[in-house]
Amino acid sequence: TNKDVNLTILTRDNAEILSLLSSGQADFGMARMKPPSSQFFTHPLLTTHPRLILPRDHFLSAKKKISLADLRDCRFVFLPKNTMSRRLIEDRFYRSGYTLNVSFEAWSCADIIECVLLGLGPGIVHDICGPRKEQGLRVVDITTIFGTTGVNLIGRKNKFLSRADQVFIQSVLQYRK
């Protein structure tokens, strides 16, 4: 804790993060993207892997190996359209000739898990958000279908980095996976 440090943490989509950084309204951002290298620096923080969350009574729950074709008829609880995760999953479905069917949009991965527990459908969340051992759920690694996503710490290249900025960057990098 330092009385001279004013830290505000906001949740925004990638486009808004870059806009806030470009305009100087934010000093740093964390996003699932690599922005234009001419304007921004990036530090890789972690790599996320998608997890399919199924209620134990779902028709796919007992299936040993799940393919994209198996998922094509599911009606998912998923993140909103403007999220990078949603776009990546939709793109993979589209490239395979399928459509991602979303029955319910949830605000966060935690909300997706709650909705799955309520029986609103299967969901896809990031591994860092997934339940460890939740009764009534099956968690399936679907990285082979959808790949991984890198999360980066991002900042403006032309911004002067104060000592506090440098300490912040080092502190964040110290905890990366």
Each residue's pLDDT tens digit, 110-137: 999 999 999 999 999 999 888 777 678 9
The pLDDT confidence band at residue 37, using thresholds 50, 70 and 90, is confident
Residue 159 has pLDDT above 60, yes or no: yes
CA–CA distance, 98 with 22 (Å, rounded to integer): 37
Percent of the chain with pLDDT over 90: 54
Which one, of 3, 35, 4, 7, lies nearest residue 22 by Cα? 35
Mean pLDDT of the chain: 89
The string of pLDDT tens digits covering residues 55-96 is 989 999 999 999 999 999 999 999 998 888 899 999 999 999
Percent of the chain with pLDDT over 70: 96
Q: Retrieve residue 15's tokens.
A: 């486009």
CA–CA distance, 166 with 170 (Å, rounded to integer): 6
Strands 149-156 and 28-31: antiparallel
